[in-house]
Amino acid sequence: MGGGVRGLMTTSKLEAKKLRKGKNKAEEDLDSLKTDSKKLRLSIRTASLGKMLKQWLLEC
């Protein structure tokens, strides 16, 4: 097999680097989902207000 401790350390460093990249990607994805969720909630709220305004105008 070879490599010994040095090979093990290199493998560990590579694995740690992959984990950090994965964590960063997951955090970016979460931030993106949060932003999309806020936009969606705002759109729903805006659409609901539009319906309420139309109903109010029809009643007048």
The reply to whether the predicted model has a pTM over 0.75 is: no
User: pLDDT at residue 2 above 60?
Assistant: no
Q: How many CB atoms lie within 10 A of CB 1?
A: 4
Q: What phi and psi, each to the nearest 5 degrees, are found at residue 55?
A: -65, -40
Query: Over the stretch 3-60, which tens digit does the pLDDT of each residue have?
Result: 566 777 788 899 999 999 999 999 999 999 999 999 998 888 888 877 777 787 787 7
- For residue 13, the enclosing domain spans 1-60
Say how many domains are in the chain.
1
54: tokens are 């139309």
Residue 32 vs residue 2, higher pLDDT:
32
Please report the pLDDT score of residue 37 as a whole number: 93
